[in-house]
Amino acid sequence: MPDIPSAPLQASGGRSRHWLIDAVIGGGVALGLITVAHGALPRVERLPPASSAAPPPPRPADPPAEPPVFIAFTTPAPGYPVISPFGLRQLPWEEGGRLHAGVDIAAPAGLPVLAAADGVVVRAGPDGGLGRTVEIKHAAGLSTIYGHLGALLPWITPGVAVKAGAAIGAIGSSGASTGSHLHFEIRDDDGRPLNPELFLDRRFTAAGDLPLRDAQRFGRRVRLAYVSNIPKAKQQEMEARAQAKLQLTAADAKGAINALQRGMNASATVRDYKLKNGRPYARLQVGDQRAAQRQAQVPAIPPIPAGVPSGTAGLPPGVTSLPSGTAGLPSGTAGLPSGTAGAAREAQAY
């Protein structure tokens, strides 16, 4: 068998070993470069599976539905106080107390006046002592009245529908007003005044919930009202009444003269006074003082003896008839002077 040269085999095996070494070194370098590149990439955190996520917060429960509103009232001048309540009141120019049929709310002139509830305007314009006035009709026959307004909005006319809180005019001092304020009333279907403070800022779900009976009640005590400004017409009325007081001296003299003509030593005192048909009118209390003096001088009458006929008590022995002018008097009154002590009569002077 021929000999095979070994040199080429050795050369080939050496080349294989060098290739293997280069491959190992190249692979390590490549692995290092990949590791460095992977470290430079942004870090991404893996989320947990959806099944392990926290449950969402519970959904809040829906608020309970409010009952339907039959009628709701709001304040016509929010933020301002009631200075004169519902009830009996006497103003400086009045001779006695009378029902103040609403409430007075003090507020600056020009402030908007708001409709107190949904309704329809039934009148708008001047109304005597209330000045510029708006009246609105509401559910259940209720009406609200807004008086002493300084101005009315031009579209507030009869037949116009308004919503609660809508402006209808402005605060003022028209009519017989003592200053800038709103006179506010609530009346029922029969026109009877109701206490507004039992309605304002309240909601009613049915007509039966309205406090109609309680709102008609008011105390019997008369509240004296003190005002800072008196209307001109009322000033004239008060001046006429003061003039009537000055004329009471003449009225006293006239009453005393009349009493003297009737044979009375009279003293006249004034009971009251007022204007009647534009003229001073005075009522006098006239007392008969002379009759009281005569009564004090009458002697005491002895008691009636047993068996004496009625009407003859105190007569001298043997006298069986009464003096002229005393027939028919009750027992024990024979000889009394004419007239009754302290009798009072009324005289009227104009």
Both tokens of residue 230?
């008196």
Q: Regarding predicted confidence, which is higher, 275 or 150?
A: 150
Is 218 within 8 Å of 87 (Cβ atoms)? yes
Distance, CA of 153 to CA of 112 (rounded, Å): 10
Of 286, 287, 263, 267, which is closest to residue 338 (Cα–Cα)?
263
Residue 106 has pLDDT above 50, yes or no: yes
User: At 350, which amino acid appears?
Assistant: Y
Q: How confident is the model at residue 101 (pLDDT cuts 50, 70, 90)?
A: very high
pLDDT of residue 229: 82
Both tokens of residue 113?
């006046």
Long-range CB pairs of 227-230, under 8 A, 24+ apart, other chains included: 227/91, 227/92, 227/178, 227/179, 228/178, 228/179, 229/178, 229/179, 230/92, 230/93, 230/178
What are the residues whose beta carbons fall under 8 Å from the beta carbon of 282, sequence distance 6 or more? Answer: 244, 247, 248, 251, 270, 272, 273, 348, 349, 350
Go through the chain and tell me how many residues it has: 350
Distance, CA of 305 to CA of 99 (rounded, Å): 62
Distance, CA of 290 to CA of 260 (rounded, Å): 10
- Map out the domains of the chain as residue ranges: 71-224, 231-298+340-350
What whole-number percentage of the chain has pLDDT above 70?
Answer: 54
Residue 160 phi, psi dihedral angles, 5° rounding = -80, 130
Is 252 within 8 Å of 284 (Cβ atoms)? yes
Residue 11 has pLDDT above 50, yes or no: no
Of the listed ranges 148-162, 238-252, 272-286, 326-340, the least confidently predicted one is 326-340
User: Beta strand pairing status for 279-288 and 266-276?
Assistant: antiparallel
Rounded to a whole number of angstroms, the distance between the first and last alpha carbons of the chain is 181
Compute the average pLDDT of residues 233-243.
81
Residue 85 has pLDDT above 60, yes or no: yes
User: Beta strand pairing status for 223-224 and 87-90?
Assistant: parallel
Distance, CA of 276 to CA of 282 (rounded, Å): 9
Residue 259's Cβ-count burial label (10 Å; 0-12, 13-18, 19+) is buried
Structurally, what CATH architecture does the domain formed by 71-224 represent?
Distorted Sandwich (2.70)
Distance, CA of 279 to CA of 66 (rounded, Å): 62
Q: How confident is the model at residue 50 (pLDDT cuts 50, 70, 90)?
A: low
Distance, CA of 141 to CA of 37 (rounded, Å): 88
